[in-house]
Structure 1
């Protein structure tokens, strides 16, 4: 009677997969309903000049609650506190903006300035709605801006790369196992489209020592 020992290696599998995803963005939501709570505002002027949202008279019908408080400043101007609150959604958004008008501003200049801040505050709340398709951003460059100021240069051209490598080992008497897992992901996002490419691999190695008795 004698013993014969066998040692062999089993490669379980090696897998590579690649995926490319193009996206135009998630489905846009309807135009939101705004409940405006401001006793001193020119409500008709706001509704007439800010038309990328709907206005409702009942707070229960609103998806955005806008509260505007105002008070006179020490310099004779007006300070407006704009509180934007999202209603009836999980992880509701809430923002606060502050607008201060000059003591020399006319009534028309003051309401134009207030409307500008209302528009700015509403943009984050409509960015995932159909209203975004009709909005434009206009930037008035300050006259004192340095013309030699360098623009931001992105050498990666909006590409983001992620590399993941993991391994593990385990075993017991007469058996040894080894696993290697790796992945590579490249993603590029612009305001109009998104591309994502993934490559994933996995190797498992198993050494087993068998004892034959004859």
Structure 2
């Protein structure tokens, strides 16, 4: 009888412990997601079993999401996981690709699954694997079957085409304007080569009237760009670039250039989504047929032009940085040249504080297309003709700082704020 009571007490104690375990709140992973294009409201709401940290230092896992465009117009996502604190010995990577036809809802669902897959190692470490599987089962999530080899065949052979048109009209008592444009593009991207063709036509008409003053401005432009790049090795590529342009603003009846090119990547191309440093050189012929006699007393001319370009980009835990320097000049007259400098960076300086800088500055000494006739004030205001300028620039500097609750998994969409 005594043994029976002991056994009965043990059973009751085990049942009570099981109930307490069922009620216990599970420890959540603290994750910092470095992704400035992710739908965070959706992820926070759908992944309530994660604490999204506001600062990287407070996280157990640092997740950075990088993207690159695929040849089909889709996007390749690369997710890199770095464990911190007690998880610093664990690192992981996961990648997936979306199609150009995927909706934003489909993309964010795939991104959610990818984040979960990459965090699985950390969940196992935390002892949450069984809990996560139960959550998925209760939610009724269905795992989609992988496409068969027959389904994955591409009848378009990696070709992607796009056609577009747009138009607009606006006006008031003293002015009216209308614009329309057409565009077409096609591309084929494989591991061995990349081909791209783009064509666009724009037409603008503006009419201004005030009392006896009346002015009508009409401009149109047509451009055609063809590019081809061929992979040689992990660091070398060759290519060719052709451009055709007809523009009232730039004084071109016809401008045509064809330039072979070579590029060297200091880092292997396969890590370009993390860091990239390239040096490229282009050289080729240039033919210009002008609408109006130029300041160099030319109506038609053949020239040789070359350019040297140094570009770099990096995206790491501290932020991202990209920049480019390009020198371009006429081969037989080095006084006709241009320098272009561009920079963009977003740097996380300390907790919640970031510095954002963007800028572009171009020195122009190669405006060989400028019309010889004088340009009046109406031409400048209405931008009917290009005028001489030794430089142009753009710059933007900003800071951002966030503070408040470190973790918050609540989503409340009321009133849209």
TM-score, normalization by structure 1: 0.49
Flag the structure with more relative contact order, 1 or 2, with Cα contacts below 8 A and sequence separation at least 6.
1
